[in-house]
Amino acid sequence: MKFQYNKTSMQRMERDLRVRLRALPALQAKETALRLEIKKLSGELKTVEYEERKLKTRAFEFAELWLEYPDLLRIQETDISFRNVAGVKIPVLQSLSFAVREYSLYANRAWIPGGSEILKRLTALAMEGDLLRRGLDILRETRKKTTQKVNLYEKVQIPSYREAIRKIKRYLEDEENLSRSAQKIVKKRVASVRGDST
């Protein structure tokens, strides 16, 4: 860190140090909030993935029947909102609606309505899982940057500013002491010169 040994430089460093000292608790709180949210979302993702696997296993037991499934479902509307977590926006699935094409209950197999419900649930779980993974990626990246900034402030910048301010204070004190000593010497010489001349 480059600095000059004067009061202006010291005041600027003291101001920069105060900014970092004020920002540090907020950054630490943000890092903690992000860590907790990551843990929470990871648990939610595990639950969604478990449900999805369980439902797929159940559905694939009847794999031959799915070959007969008619083209009935389309995603009609997806409502994705964003939730704010410690100043970071992450996507959240609010709702998912499907358009179901008209079909004859008499002309089709009896399992078709149940199969449609399974497909709807699988689609919703897959979409929810994707959004949770995307949210986790965003939170992890932000937490990484926040942790780096906390470490930079705590371990590098704050100690460096304190050390620089200490050095400048010592230098200015030494300079002031030398100036006083020089003034005393000049006073003594002036006094001795005046004393000799009388």
Query: What gap in Å lies between CA 95 and CA 43, rounded to an integer?
Result: 21
Mean pLDDT over 59-79 rounds to 82
Q: Residue 32: which of 140, 152, 143, 145 has the closest Cα?
A: 143
* pLDDT, mean over the chain: 89
State which H helix or E strand residue 95 sits in. strand 88-100
Nearest of 176, 107, 131, 167 to residue 41 by alpha carbon: 131
Q: Cα–Cα distance between 119 and 99 in angstroms, integer?
A: 12
In whole angstroms, what is the distance from residue 158 CA to residue 21 CA? 8
Euclidean distance between the first and the last CA atom of the chain, given in angstroms as a whole number: 56
Rounded average pLDDT over 30-49: 97
pLDDT, residue 183, reads 86
- 0.75 exceeded by the pTM? yes
89 Rama sector, left if φ>0, alpha if ψ -120 to 50, beta otherwise: beta
In the structure, what pLDDT confidence band is assigned to residue 106 with cuts at 50, 70 and 90? low
- Fold annotation for 7-151: Helix Hairpins (1.10.287)
- 52-66, 96-110, 133-147, 176-190: the lowest-pLDDT one: 96-110
